[in-house]
Structure 1
Amino acid sequence: MSTSDVTRQGVRGARPARDALTGSARARPDAPRRDGRAPEGGFRSYYGRPVLNRIPWAARDIAGYLFLGGLAGSSSVLAAGAELSGRPALARTMKATALGAITGSVAALVNDLGRPARFVNMLRVCKPTSPMSVGSWLLAGYGPLAGAAAATELTGRFRRPGTAATVGAALLGPAVAAYTAPLICDTAVPAWHEGYREMPFVFTGSGAAAAAGVGLLGSPPAENGPARRAAVFGAALETAALARMRRRTAAVADTHRGGRAGVLLRAAEALTATGALGAAVLGRHRWAARVSGAALVAGSACTRFGIFYAGIASAEDPRYTVVPQRERVRERAAAGLA
C-alpha cells in the first residue's frame, strides 16, 4: 500500500474482514463501537498473528536451569546447617549436590545462549534493575564458593577455608534459589508476569523441597533430621504460594489446569505432598526416607517444568494477554471514580 491508496473514504482496494479483533467472546465479532476502539471479538489478534512472540526457549534448557538453580542454592543452605550441627554425611551430600546442580544450571543457560562468550559478556556491566544481570553476578560469585566447599569436603584438605566457603555459599543460596522467579516474571508472558508476587516463594519452597529430597536420598537416617524438616517447610511454602497465586491471578490460572502444564503441576502436587508426608512420618526409616526423597525431587522438577509450559500456553493464547490488561484498566477507572 502506498500513500496514494489512502483516500477520504478509506483505503482504496482494501479487502474486507481484515480488521484486528481482540476482546471478549461474549460480544459479536463484528459489533461496531462508537468510541473508535477495536471491536469486542473472539480474541483474534492482528491478521491471525499472536499478540506475543512465540517463546523460543527449550524446556530442557530453561526449565532445567530453573530447577537446578533452586536445587543448588537450597542445597548450600542445608549443607551449612548440617556442617555446623555435626552431620558430616549430610553435609558432604549437600555440598556435592550444590556443585553438581550449579554446574548443570550454568551449562543449561550457556547452551540456551548458544556460546559461553554470551554469558561472560553479561558480566561486563552490573545493572541492579535487571534480573538477568543480577543473576549472572550471583552465579559468578556463588559457583566458586560452592566449588570450593565441595572440593575441600571431598579431599579432606583446607578445612577452615572450606567452612568459610560453605557459609558464603549458604548466604548466597537463597538468592540463587529465588532469583530465577523475577527473571521469568520480568517478561510479557502472562502466566509468569501476573504471578510476580508469589513466584519467588513458589521457587524457594520448591528448591527447599528438592534439596531436602536429595538429603533424604544420600544421608543416613541418623543425620537426616534437617532434611526432613526442610521437606515439610518447602512443601508447605510451595503449596501455599501456588494456591495464593492461582486465586489472585484467576484470569491466567487456567494455564495451570490444562494441557501439559496441568498434567505436570498435578503430578507435582501429588509427589510433593507424598514426599513431605513420608519424610515427616517415616523419615527415620532408610527406605521410606529414600522413596520420600525421590518423590520430593521429582515433584520439584515437575513444578518447574509445569510453570514453564504454563507460560508457553499463556503466550500462545491472546485471551491471557487481553483479559488481565482490561481488568487493570477497569480497576484503575473504578479507583479514579472512587
Structure 2
Amino acid sequence: MSEFDSYRPPEPPRRRRGGGKRRRRGGGSGGDGAREMPMVPEAEFTSYYGRPVVKPPPWGHEVAAYLFLGGVAGGSGLLGLGAQLTGRPRLRRNARLGALGAVGLGAVALVADLGRPDRFYNMMRTFKITSPMSVGSWILSAFSGGIGVAAVAEVDRMTGERLPLGPLRSVLRVVEGPAGLEAGVFAAPLAVYTAVLLSDTANPTWNDAHRDLPFVFVSSASLASAGLAMVTTPVAETGPARTLAALGVVGDITAMKLMERRMDPVAAEPLHHGSAGEMLRWAERLAVAGGVGAVLGGRNRVVAAVSGLALMAASALTRFGVFEAGIHSAKDPRYTIEPQKHRLAARRAAGITDDSITTAG
C-alpha cells in the first residue's frame, strides 16, 4: 500500500482459472493450441480515474452575463444607427444609452471573470485573426469607442448642453454621426463573436453547434435589444424595434430547432436536460409570447413594455441555457466519446478508411 492507492480504482482479486488447477495445452474449451484465442474481454470505455476527457472551462456566470450583455449592446447599437438614419431621436437616444450601459456592464463582468483588469489590457497588445478572443477584444473596444462618443452627445443634449466640454462640443457634434455609424458597423460582430468563441473550443455541445450557434446568438441579440427599446421608448417611435422583435423571434426559434437537428443527438442532449433544458424551454415560450405581444399589441404602452421584458428574459435564458449545457457536456465523458464514435462510423460508411482519423479495421 502507498499514498497513491486512494486514487486508484479498486481491482478485483485475481482468480486462477479452472478452480486452481492448471489446464493442459490444447485441452479445455475449444482451443487446439494452433489458433489465436481472445485473451482480453471486449473493452468498454471508462474515463481516466473517472475524470472528464475534456477539461470544463473555468468560467463562472459572469461569462454568461457577458454573453447576454454583449447581445444587448450589439443589437442596440444597430437599432441606434437605424434610428439615426430615419430620424427617430428618442429611439436613437435610448438605443445608444442602452448600448453603452450594456457594454459597460459586460466589460465589468468580463474583467470580474478574468480576475484582474490588466488581463484584458494584455489581450489588446496583439491582434491574432485566428483567435476569436483576440478578434473579439478588438471588436468590443472599437464598438465601445464609437458608442461612447455617440452616447456622450446624447447626454449633453439631455442636460441642455451643460457638460463641461467647452470647445470640444463643436467637435463632438461633428463626430457624433460617424461615431454612431462606427458603432453600427461593429454591432453585429459584437453580437455574434461570442458564439464563435464558444464553438471554437473542444467543448462537445458548443463545438457540435458551430454551424448554427452564431445565428442563434444574432437572433437572441435582436430579441434583447428590441425588448429594451420597447420598454424605454414611446410606442410612436418603436416601429423598427417591433419589426426587429418579430424577425428575432422567427430567427431564434428556427435557428435553435435547426441547430438541434443538425447536431449529434448525444451532443444535443444537454440542451434538453437539467437546468439548461428548463431555461431553453422557457426562453422559447417567452420569445413567442413577447413576439405576439409586439406584433398584436405593440402600439399599447403597457403591452409593449411587458412584451419587451419577455423578449429580454428570453434572450437571457437562451444565452445562459446554452452556456450551462456546454459546461455540463464537458463534465461527462459520454458527450465527448460517443459523438466521436458516431463521426468515425460515418466516415467509414462513406468509404474514408485511409487517413489519419480512420483505419480499415
Task: Give the shorter-chain TM-score range.
Answer: 0.7 to 0.9
Task: State the Cα RMSD in Å.
Answer: 2.1
1:234 to 245, 248, 252: 248
Give the CA deviation at 1:299: 0.6
1:179 aligned counterpart, secondary structure: helix
1:298 is aligned, of 313, 338, 344, to 313
Partners in 2 of 1:251 and 1:163 — Cα distance? 49
Structure 2: give runs of 5+ residues left out of the alignment.
2-8, 14-36, 158-168, 354-361
Shift of 1:54: 3.3
In structure 2, the residue matched to 1:10 is none
Q: Determine the structure 2 residue equivalent to 1:154.
A: 155
Distance 1:124 1:163 in 2: 29
| Residue 145 (str. 1) matches residue 146 (str. 2) | yes
Q: Read off the aligned partner of 2:302 and give its amino acid letter.
A: W
- Correspondence list, 1:237-316, <5 A: 237-249=251-263, 250-316=265-331
Q: 2:56·2:203 contact (CA, 8 Å) conserved in 1?
A: no
Deviation, structure 1 residue 275: 0.5
Give the letter for the 1:85 counterpart: T
Question: Structure 1: how far apart are the matches of 2:299 and 2:121?
Answer: 45
Task: Find the aligned partners of 1:270 and 1:308 in 2 and give their Cα distance.
Answer: 19
8 Å CA contact retained: 2:242, 2:298? yes
**Residue 336 (structure 2) aligned to one of 316, 321, 326:** 321
Q: Deviations over 1:261-308 (max 9, x none)?
A: 011111110111111111011101110100000000011001111111
Mark the structure with the bigger radius of gyration.
2
Match of 1:218 in 2: 232
C-alpha distance in structure 1 between counterparts of 2:41 and 2:214, whole Å: 37
By how many angstroms is 1:235 displaced?
1.3
Task: Classify 1:34/1:114 alpha carbon distance in 2 versus 1 (closer, same or farther; 3 Å).
Answer: farther
Q: Distance in 2 between matches of 1:100 and 1:270?
A: 27
CA distance in 2: counterparts of 1:35 and 1:99, whole angstroms: 67
Alignment correspondent of 2:58: 56
Give yes or no for the alignment of 1:171 onto 2:181.
no
Paired position in structure 2 for 1:95 = 96
Q: Does 1:133 align with 2:134?
A: yes
> Are the equivalent residues in 2 in contact too, given 1:94–1:215 (CA < 8 A)?
yes
Instruction: Specify the alignment match of 1:67 in structure 2.
Output: 68
- When residues 87 and 330 of structure 1 are mapped into structure 2, their CA distance, relative to the original with a 3 A threshold, is same
Determine the C-alpha separation between the residues in 1 that align with 2:227 and 2:252.
Answer: 14
Pair 1:15–1:258, CA change in 2 (3 A): closer
Instruction: Give the drift of 1:36.
Output: 8.6
Distance 1:160 1:276, change over 3 A: farther
Calculate percent identity across the aligned residue pairs.
47
Cα deviation 1:185-204 (Å, max 9, x = unaligned): 11111111100010000000
**Where does 1:83-122 land on structure 2 (aligned, <5 Å)?**
83-122=84-123
Label 1:34 to 1:282 Cα distance change in 2 as closer, same or farther (>3 A).
farther
Q: Secondary structure at the match of 2:11?
A: coil
- 1:47 aligned partner: 49
- Classify 1:333/1:152 alpha carbon distance in 2 versus 1 (closer, same or farther; 3 Å): same
1-structure distance, mates of 2:10, 2:182: 65
Indicate conservation of the 8 Å contact 1:153/1:162, yes or no.
no
- Name the CA shift for 1:40/1:15 in 2 (closer, same or farther; >3 Å): closer
1:15: how far off? 6.8
Cα drift, residue 163 of structure 1: 1.3
Distance across 2 between alignment mates of 1:319 and 1:196 = 19
Distance 1:325 1:90, change over 3 A: same
When the two structures are aligned, how many residues end up with a matched partner?
309
Question: What letter is aligned with 1:274?
Answer: A
